[in-house]
Structure 1
Amino acid sequence: MARDQGGFAIPFVICCVGVALFSVMDAAMKGLSLAIGLYNALFWRAVTGTLLGLALMLLTRQRWPTRQVLRIHLLRGTVVAAMALLFFWSILRLPLAEAIALSFIAPLIALYLAALLLKEKVGRQAVGASLLGLVGVAVILSGKLSGRYEADALLGVLAVLGSAVLFAWNLIIQRQQAQVASPIEVAFFQHLVMLAVFSTCAPWLAILPPTGAVPLVLLAATLAFTSLAALAWAYARAEAQRLIPVEYSAFLWAAIVGWLAFGERVTLTTMAGALLIVVACLIAARSKRAELAHVEAGTA
């Protein structure tokens, strides 16, 4: 048991670092989107991340993926491109911590996607956890309906919930990807596929970023690439069910960074809703572990 805990410690720490870097990257992307527009922020981050990844692929002499692995890269990159577009569009209308809190419903959505795509069974306890998660979303949404926010923020809520659905699908693909590709390969192909997706609109929407925005482009791309590689490394070395709770630390980082960078305050409804969603996700994860243990006991 001690050896298991020791073996888990390093992936746990790396996962924590990856989540923290992602939260800082979200803030950098919000600032960049406000400066040069959402499309150009996404496009130039993809360009920079792809060039960084290509350099690392060549320096470390990474092998070219097989056709089957390449299909996984293409699927996840496309899903993440749509997910990123919705999420970053939402944080232009919502505080960072609030958007992150709403996105926490993704693991609950992943349960039903796993049932649909992988034919996994959803237990009664998991269904109850899902309902609790929906209550958490309703609590956060109640702040939007109280009249203290602009109506445009409601569209931000819908966008981040749509992003959460795609993030849930992304979680399922990530489990496969981390087992068959190196962290550098994962980060490189995700940026490359995203670049291909966003390049379709480049002739009409792309502009050269002004000199003052270049540091933010470099910062956002470096943080995105590093955090992707860190999470891929961690998920390849520890069970997803043990690492997923680390994702909830993103709320704290988003609250801190949002306050420091944009003067955003976290409301009581956001904190209460986030707590309910996190508890719901932990209940669902616990029920899943119990179900797996029951199956293993039955086959032993």
Structure 2
Amino acid sequence: MTARSSLTAFAVAVAGIAVFSVMDMVMKGLSLALGAWPTLLWRGVFGIVLAAGPYFATRKGWPTWPALRLHVTRGLLMAPMSFLFFYGLARTPMAQAVALTFIAPLLALGLAGLLLKESIGPRMLAGSLLALAGGGGLVVGQARADLGHEALVGSLAVLASATIYAFNIIVMRAQAQRAGPAEIAFFQALVIGSLFFATTPFLGLPPLPRGHWHELLLASSLALVSMWLLAWAYARAGAGYLSNTEYTSFLWAILLGWWRFGEGVSPFTLAGAALIVAGCFLAARAERPVLEAIA
């Protein structure tokens, strides 16, 4: 793998994070209107339907057992991860919620070295720490504001989600090397949607979200596009390297949170954004032109 190919994968992953960030904005609005669980359940319905077409049109056979096991494993991770994140996002400003997720790329960096045997060079580590310092600037700035008990509960939920997401990044890397984007998107939608529907005997089936179908369709479409882009990128570069693209979601959270929800931006937020950009740039220059295999 050449350095140019590596940078292309990095750019595609950044695009995937941007699309995912717009989806977060739509999902926050839906979670405020409907609640996190009903929103995720009905989005799951749309996701399965939308992902089925591309998958069945392009598939060359059923997934291998190792690939299917990864699909199920990632789905089992993403269901609680998604609920915790959107539950927290509905109770905290977008920029703060995203900053709290910055523990995930650093955890993923360590897990990539431990589980995938990926090399972690000094530039990659320095870039991650620099970006994390940027996220810390946001946390300090938001801590100075009195956001109340709901924001505290929401922040704890986002932190729990971020911890799960670190493992998700590692599984995503292994999954992308064994299956194509269409297959990954379909089975993730199928597993996650099935898990949320499995709760209906206990929690009941939420009412049809009349007046919000177009937003659910948009959120489902954005989630699939993001998943396709990230699957393509993670098939071509290491998890430790690409995990640094997660920091760019902070920049989108600032813009989208201000535009859609009128959330303010403090000087700490702006300083943190500058450090995040610098950290991502440093990490992007650190990838070796070698793609490690997964045992």
Give TM class, smaller chain: 0.7 to 0.9
Shift in Å, 1:119:
7.1
- Percent identity over the alignment is 47
**Is this contact kept in 1: 2:169–2:243, CA < 8 A?**
no
Number of equivalent positions: 289
Relative to structure 1, is the Cα distance of residues 249 and 264 closer, same or farther in structure 2, using a 3 angstrom cutoff?
Answer: same
> Which SS does the other structure have where 1:152 is aligned?
helix
Aligned partners of 2:115 and 2:240: how far apart in 1?
18
Q: Which moved more, 1:143-152 or 1:37-46?
A: 143-152
Residue 167, structure 1, aligned to residue 196, structure 2 = no
* Residue of structure 2 in register with 1:54 after alignment: 52
Deviates more, 1:116-125 or 1:42-51: 116-125
Letter in 1 for 2:69: R
More helix by share: 1
Match of 1:297 in 2: none
State whether residues 36 and 209 of structure 1, in contact with CA within 8 Å, keep that contact through their aligned partners in structure 2. no
- Where do 1:110-259 residues align within 5 Å? 110-114=108-112, 117=115, 139-203=137-201, 204-259=203-258
Distance 2:110 2:245 in 1: 21
More moved, 12-21 vs 76-85: 12-21
Find the structure with the greater CA-based Rg. 1
1:144–1:154: 8 Å Cα contact kept in structure 2?
A: no
Amino acid of the structure 1 residue aligned with 2:100: L
Is the 2:13–2:233 contact (alpha carbons within 8 Å) kept by the matching residues of 1? yes
Residue ranges of structure 2 left out of the alignment (5+ in a row): 291-295
Structure 1 residue 98 displacement after superposition: 1.7
TM-score, normalisation: structure 2: 0.83
**Partner of residue 40, structure 1:** 38
1:57, CA displacement in angstroms? 1.6
CA distance in 2, matches of 1:144, 1:247: 20
Q: Decide whether aligned partners of structure 1 residues 159 and 276 sit closer, same or farther in structure 2, where only a CA change above 3 A counts.
A: farther
Q: Deviations over 1:234-257 (max 9, x none)?
A: 222344455444332222222111
2:48–2:193 CA contact under 8 A, matched in 1: yes
Separation in 1, partners of 2:98, 2:54: 30
CA gap 1:205/1:112 in 2 versus in 1, 3 angstroms: farther
- In the other structure, the counterpart of 2:293 is none
Distance 1:123 1:74, change over 3 A: same
CA distance in 2, matches of 1:277, 1:102: 13
Partners of 2:99 and 2:139 within 8 A in 1: no
Deviations 1:96-140 (A, max 9, x none): 122112212212112343466457798999999888777666554
- Mark the runs of 5 or more structure 1 residues left unpaired by the alignment: 293-300
Counterpart CA distance in 2 for 1:197 and 1:239 is: 29
- TM-score, with normalisation over the residues of structure 1? 0.81
8 Å CA contact 1:73–1:177 kept in 2: the answer is yes
Q: Which moved more, 1:129-138 or 1:193-202?
A: 129-138
The answer for the alignment partner of 1:31 in structure 2 is 29
State the Cα deviation string for residues 133-189 of structure 1 (Å, max 9, x = none).
Answer: 776665544445435221321222222121111111011111111111010111111
Given residue 219 of structure 2, which amino acid in structure 1 is its aligned partner?
A
- Which deviates further from its counterpart, 123-132 or 109-118? 123-132
Change in Cα spacing, 1:111 to 1:9, as seen in structure 2 (3 Å) is closer
- Matched-pair contact (CA < 8 Å) for 2:108–2:167: yes
The equivalent of 2:63 in structure 1 is: 65
Q: Which amino acid aligns with 2:222?
A: L
SS at match of 1:151: helix
Residue in 2 aligned with 1:295? Answer: none
Range that drifts further, 45-54 or 98-107: 98-107
